Structure 1
Amino acid sequence: MLSDVLLVSAPGKVILHGEHAVVHGKVALAVALNLRTFLQLQPHSSGKVSLNLPNIGIKRAWDVARLQLLDMSFLEQGDPTSPILEKLEKLKEVADFPEDCTDHERLAVLAFLYLYLCICRKQRWRAEDLELINKWAFQGEKVIHGNPSGVDNAVSTWGGALRYQQGKISSLKRPPALKILLINTKVPRSTKALVLNVRNRLLKFPKIVAPLLTSINAISLECERVLEEMATAVPAPEHYLALEELIDMNQHHLNALGVGHTSLDQLCQVTMAHGLHSKLTGAGGGGCGITLLRPDLTGPEVEAVKQALTGCGFDCWETSIGAPGVSVHTAASLDAPVWQALDGLCAGQWASSS
């Protein structure tokens, strides 16, 4: 049981190259962002385990004594680390959802309860045990996404940059800390539907789409080569020019696959007007995009781009790639303003009964 407050964090991630092509066996490059989700665990004596996710408006609590009295044997049926549908259906009864609970709230709470109950019953783990952290994070991904690739949880656990192909994940050595803009178009989309559309287009036009996927694979491999070269030598202007060309080519290919969107076209046009290069990241059809920031850009130039993007109604964050993975923080390791802002208002906060 915790004797003091524990604060941990994990980075977000974006796909640099390989969206959709990775579904068809090609290489994808994923990188950790210096935009982090924080989890604060704090003991208290209320006899409850409380979950507070302020960014998505979730605040729930359960009596620990009640949870201990419930029949949880179903969690141990089959593979105890696999959240199959039958287990999740039974777990909904434990969650006791209110009638006005939305789907994303239900999934978030189910993921928490599944991990909390399974770990408390079956596991004793240490924060530094990254393999175990990654394993449990993957189970949370399964609850929410059904059949995830494993890229998201792996990048957030280990940080840095990863190469993913056909279920095999390997780390890129010392990726350069490239500065980027992460832009949210705020246009919702269905990843499942977009993946299906690409598959249908491949079946309809195999001689056209298959070479596009092969070309995207080549873009990922060339980007990997450039990043490794930048990691072993002083990054030069030609490195950034190469990365910008790869970004442009990949964006055009993704549009040809049918996963573009007018909002993403607008994003690319706005940044190109400022001499910068952008592409969608992830599923496409809206969602998010990334813009590479060259090291020669001045602060006012970057601010001008950000203002132009926010003027289009987009959300925009300036960050960098290659962030460290899951981390444990203390008050001494964070700046005072950061600690004060996080105290009691983390992206995730879990308070357990002592």
Structure 2
Amino acid sequence: MCLAISAKYGDVPSVDILVWSELPTGAGLGSSAAFAVCLAAALLTACGAISCPLKEGESTARWTEEELTLINSWAFQGERVIHGNPSGVDNAVGTWGGALRYQSGKITPLKRVPTLRILLTNTKVPRSTKVLVAGVKEKILKFPAIMNPVLDSIDAIAQECQSVLEAMPANPSPEYYPVLEELFDINQHHLNVIGVGHPSLDRLCQVTASHGLHSKLTGAGGGGCGITLLRPDTSPLAVEAAKRDLCACGFECWETNIGAPGVTLHSSSSLNAEVLHALSKS
């Protein structure tokens, strides 16, 4: 990517690049896309192809829409080097943040989505996206009259979820959360039907259900990671108990948010202690 950007926009000055990440690799969480987006933004800024948006006294800043589009296009090229034929979803989310709808190759940002609290759990079960996708295709070819309605239903779930998410910021009613929880449950059952479930993910859902929480797989399935929706009024004791039981299964678990901003330039003063420690060792 550095050579390609230099060839198009002029020499990139001599730089040292330190990569630090909280995302586990190979778990279906888009760590490669996050890397590609950050690298593209850094190199394009360094060679002057895009501006440095950070003004004096600011702790964070983001680029213009036009500049974000350029960052995304180069990040996608980086994803192609890593994955061969990526969808472009992961780098788009990493660039713009929030939530996106992906259908038939078209990526559409969702408007005004809320920030949702989740538990993110890594089952540590390795899986191959290529193998899982091939298995789904095989089922569709073998049982088209059965599988196509299931896929139509999954699409309807996604559309219903989009409607709920876009309605929440204007009317932050707690009544939306039971709807999202039910959609999580229905979606997870459908994903098992098409063959991308795994006993470890079933266990994850059982453990969180015992604490009154609702979960589903994320990414390609077949192991990897799952997400658990946390209502605003979910008690800290319930969250800690669920995390404890998930870790007892050998899983890794983090509490985080969905709907955060995309790629952002930070001043050194805004970085947390862990990142500063990593930088100081370079």
Q: TM-score range by the shorter chain?
A: 0.7 to 0.9
Structure 1 residue aligned with 2:77? 139
Work out whether 1:343 is the aligned partner of 2:268.
no
Work out whether 1:259 is the aligned partner of 2:196.
yes
How many correspondences in the alignment?
243
2:145 to 189, 197, 207: 207
Amino acid at match of 1:273: S
Structure 2 residue aligned with 1:276? 213
Give 1:172 deviation, angstroms.
1.1
Distance in 1 (CA, whole Å) between partners of 2:236 and 2:76 is 38
Give 1:131 deviation, angstroms.
1.1
Q: Is the contact made by 2:40 and 2:71 (CA closer than 8 Å) also made in structure 1? A: no
Question: Unaligned stretches of 5+ in structure 2?
Answer: 1-12, 23-31, 53-62
Normalized per residue, which structure has more strand?
A: 1
Do the aligned partners of residues 124 and 279 (structure 1) sit closer, same or farther apart at CA in structure 2, a change above 3 Å counting? same
Correspondence list, 1:1-354, <5 A? 50-53=16-19, 124-127=49-52, 128=63, 129-236=67-174, 238-334=175-271, 338=272, 340-343=273-276, 345=278
Structure 2 residue aligned with 1:20? none
Amino acid at match of 1:150: G
Distance in 2 (CA, whole Å) between partners of 1:55 and 1:134 is 19
Amino acid at match of 1:208: I
Q: Deviations over 1:273-302 (max 9, x none)?
A: 111110000100000000001112111111
Distance in 1 (CA, whole Å) between partners of 2:169 and 2:40 is 37
Amino acid at match of 2:276: D
Give 1:341 deviation, angstroms.
2.0
Distance in 2 (CA, whole Å) between partners of 1:150 and 1:189 is 20
Do the aligned partners of residues 277 and 121 (structure 1) sit closer, same or farther apart at CA in structure 2, a change above 3 Å counting? closer
Q: Is the contact made by 1:173 and 1:231 (CA closer than 8 Å) also made in structure 2? A: no
Amino acid at match of 1:135: S
**What SS does structure 2 have at the residue aligned with 1:345?**
helix
Q: Is the contact made by 2:44 and 2:71 (CA closer than 8 Å) also made in structure 1? A: no
Q: TM-score scaled by structure 2?
A: 0.79
Distance in 1 (CA, whole Å) between partners of 2:209 and 2:277 is 41
Structure 2 residue aligned with 1:84? none
Distance in 1 (CA, whole Å) between partners of 2:108 and 2:84 is 23
**What SS does structure 1 have at the residue aligned with 2:169?**
helix
Give 1:181 deviation, angstroms.
0.5
Structure showing greater radius of gyration is 1
Q: Is the contact made by 2:154 and 2:187 (CA closer than 8 Å) also made in structure 1? A: yes
Amino acid at match of 1:272: A
Q: Deviations over 1:203-248 (max 9, x none)?
A: 0000010000000000000000111111221222x21111011000
Q: TM-score scaled by structure 1?
A: 0.63
**What SS does structure 2 have at the residue aligned with 1:242?**
helix
Do the aligned partners of residues 121 and 281 (structure 1) sit closer, same or farther apart at CA in structure 2, a change above 3 Å counting? closer
Distance in 2 (CA, whole Å) between partners of 1:133 and 1:244 is 35
Do the aligned partners of residues 119 and 207 (structure 1) sit closer, same or farther apart at CA in structure 2, a change above 3 Å counting? same
Q: Is the contact made by 1:180 and 1:292 (CA closer than 8 Å) also made in structure 2? A: yes
Give 1:52 deviation, angstroms.
4.1
Do the aligned partners of residues 224 and 305 (structure 1) sit closer, same or farther apart at CA in structure 2, a change above 3 Å counting? same
Give 1:333 deviation, angstroms.
3.2
**What SS does structure 2 have at the residue aligned with 1:169?**
strand
Q: Deviations over 1:35-82 (max 9, x none)?
A: xxxxxxxx9xxxx754444669xxxxxxxxxxxxxxxxxxxxxxxxxx
Which shows bigger deviation, 292-301 or 200-209?
292-301
Structure 1 residue aligned with 2:29? none
Distance in 1 (CA, whole Å) between partners of 2:70 and 2:236 is 41
